[in-house]
Structure 1
Amino acid sequence: MCRFVIYKGTEPVQLSHLLTRPCHSIINQAFDSRLRLDHRRPINGDGFGVGWYDSVYDEELGVQPCIFTSVTPAWNNVNLVRLAEKIKSPLVFAHVRATTAGTLSLDNCHPWSYGKLMWMHNGGISDFHKLKRKLLQSVRDDVFNWVTGNTDSQWAFALFLSKLPNPSAESFTPAVLQRAMLDTIAHINSLLEEYDITEPSLMNFCVTDGETVVATRYISSRTDEAASLWFSSGSTFSEYAEGGHYKMSKTDKRENLILIASEPLTFEKADWMEIRTNHMVVITPKMNLLQIPIVDKFYVKPSDPAAPHRDVEFAAAKGFLSPGLRRDTISRPMDAATSH
């Protein structure tokens, strides 16, 4: 299975503090997952990518993110280690890949960027080959010609871009990004229904324009659990013991940084809270974190007795969730549509 991590902070972070130094960094998770084992493909060696925005705007460099990808295993790429020690950014996307769709190529490595926007995905659209042609018909011409890969993830991004009033805009409000994300999920669900595809699709999407972050933990099922997704926030994320042992510190009430990850980057359970299934997380430019329910036919209210008892077997069998990682093993998340 794939994994991703998002960092947004009031101050830039050195990429090595996310990617290479922590003993349970996303790079180490690619070959040594302690918290969520993929028994189908335990090694995430099908490439990786990291994208970041400049700490200080430079007119010559522009507002678009920089993205570095490779098809080599992330833990064996010396250039990644060198770059991580020398780059700082206030907003970082990182992704390690285990192929479920699409060939092994740079074009299929997450994240992708279009203008100011950056996107990555953890999960899979079931029987994508059946609905692909119909989905492509809804993609704008200018976006269609931009797509270079053949994964469901990149085509989902193309669909998202087509839901925006202007995907090449210089700025986006959080509301515009939220609306496009909801429309993208609804569109995919309509195609799944049209083609009578009953196997659930896992749609943990995330997108940013460098200021706002929108991420989803979503599955097209009322009874199955989604691929896992966690968040942590505080004032500092730092090493407290030799050997890459990191923790999130909260020295005051301010949220200086927020992490969103497929799998926690530390073994400190109190640092992390699970994002509710079929919810959207929004990090605003002012560092407010919102959890918003995605209310459709697959939504189950938290008050429903069935809400805490979704079946984990589907996601676990796909390699996106460990049966041992349940809500009762870690702090409960915020209620829907509340800020943090």
Structure 2
Amino acid sequence: MCRFVIYKGTSPVQLCHLLTRPCHSIINQAFDSRLRLDRRRPINGDGFGVGWYDCTYDQELGSQPCIFTSVTPAWNNVNLTRLAEKIKSPLIFAHVRATTAGTLSLDNCHPFQFGKLMFMHNGGIAEFPKIKRRLQSYLPDDLFNMVNGNTGRSIQLRKLPNAYAKTFTPDQLRQAMVETIAEINVMTEEAGITEPSLLNFCVTDGESVVATRYISSRTDEAASLWFSSGTTFNEFAEGGHYKMSKMDKRENIILIASEPLTFEKADWMEIRTNHMVVVTPKMNLLQIPIIDKYYVPPSDPASMNRTTSFAAGKGLLSPRREITAETENCPAISI
């Protein structure tokens, strides 16, 4: 199954510090994942993509992100290695793919771009072909004609007040994500689909980032998703051993990843199932519950007893439950 990583920092970083140099970089995860057991698709070799925003605004280049994708395995693409050493950005999306829906093509390699927006996902909508036609019929013609590929990502655009806007507030992106999940749930339920959907979605406008860890179930864990924050992220030992350092209370760097990029346990915190992370332009990180009928509050003992078997069977979570930190004083979102 797919793996992704997000970097947002107050200073730009070379792509190689996320993609190629760490010993457990996202490229290495493509063939050596530690948080999945997927005998059907043991590697993420069905293409990759990386997207980034310029360090400074250039009127001629515009504000939209640049995206590089390929259907070749990420670990075997010499152009990616070359680019990663020469490109720096303060906001990066990277993704390695194991196809479950859609064909093996550039149009279906994440991340995707629409205007200033960039988005990607992993997991999948349960029995997607049953609702695919209905989902796409909801798009107005102008958006439908501009969206390539067939992985079901286009619904997120419809929930924005104006997908062509030059700027978006964190709340607009957050609300669009909440409404997207709610609409997918309505469509799958009306289609008689009982299997849970695993919906780890990410979207950014180059300033704010929203990422969800979600499953349409009260008893199962969602696909894995972690975050790390600090002041520096660098190599502390030869062989690509990286760590996140905290010199003070400031958050200069925020990483969000399907799987930790380091083996330093103290670096990473697991995002709770059926929560979203919002990173504001000022580098504030909020972990917010998505409250619907599948939400189980932390005070309910059932929240600690979700089973990993479903997500593990899809290759999206280790069957061994990880110890996680409690999330306190989270504001609530209702859908």
| TM-score w.r.t. length of structure 2 | 0.97
Q: Conserved in 2, the CA contact under 8 Å of 1:273 and 1:333?
A: no
For residue 184 of structure 1, the aligned residue among 180, 186, 192 is: 180
C-alpha distance after superposition, 1:240-282 (max 9, x if no partner): 0000000000011111000000000001011000000000110
Which residues of structure 2 form unaligned runs of 5+? none
CA distance in 2, matches of 1:148, 1:332: 39
The equivalent of 1:202 in structure 2 is 198
SS in structure 1 of the partner of residue 72 of structure 2: coil
The equivalent of 1:102 in structure 2 is 102
- Are 2:328 and 1:335 aligned? yes
The equivalent of 1:87 in structure 2 is 87
The equivalent of 1:58 in structure 2 is 58
Q: Conserved in 2, the CA contact under 8 Å of 1:3 and 1:95?
A: yes
CA distance in 1, matches of 2:217, 2:2: 20
Counterparts of 1:293-312 in structure 2 under 5 Å?
293-312=289-308
Most deviating of 107-116 and 38-47: 38-47
Q: How many corresponding residue pairs?
A: 331
The equivalent of 2:167 in structure 1 is 171
Counterparts of 1:218-229 in structure 2 under 5 Å?
218-229=214-225
CA distance in 1, matches of 2:34, 2:69: 25
SS in structure 2 of the partner of residue 145 of structure 1: helix
Q: CA RMSD in A?
A: 1.0
CA distance in 2, matches of 1:310, 1:9: 33
CA distance in 2, matches of 1:230, 1:254: 19
CA distance in 2, matches of 1:269, 1:261: 14
Q: Measure how far apart 1:32 and its partner are.
A: 1.2
Q: Measure how far apart 1:34 and its partner are.
A: 2.8
Q: Stretches of 4+ moved more than 2 A in 1?
A: 34-40, 333-338
Most deviating of 50-59 and 138-147: 138-147
CA distance in 2, matches of 1:64, 1:295: 32
CA distance in 2, matches of 1:45, 1:252: 39
Q: Measure how far apart 1:336 and its partner are.
A: 5.2
Q: Conserved in 1, the CA contact under 8 Å of 2:119 and 2:203?
A: yes
C-alpha distance after superposition, 1:11-42 (max 9, x if no partner): 00000000000000000000112343433211
CA distance in 2, matches of 1:89, 1:20: 15
The equivalent of 1:114 in structure 2 is 114
Q: Conserved in 2, the CA contact under 8 Å of 1:291 and 1:335?
A: no
Give % identity.
76
The equivalent of 2:26 in structure 1 is 26
Classify 1:99/1:336 alpha carbon distance in 2 versus 1 (closer, same or farther; 3 Å): farther
CA distance in 1, matches of 2:70, 2:4: 15
CA distance in 2, matches of 1:220, 1:59: 43
CA distance in 1, matches of 2:291, 2:128: 23
Which residues of structure 1 form unaligned runs of 5+? none
- Are 2:208 and 1:215 aligned? no
The equivalent of 1:137 in structure 2 is 137
Q: Conserved in 2, the CA contact under 8 Å of 1:4 and 1:262?
A: yes
CA distance in 2, matches of 1:91, 1:200: 31
C-alpha distance after superposition, 1:124-178 (max 9, x if no partner): 00111101111112112211001211113x3xxx211111111000000111111
**Amino acid in the other structure paired with 2:52:** W
Classify 1:112/1:333 alpha carbon distance in 2 versus 1 (closer, same or farther; 3 Å): farther
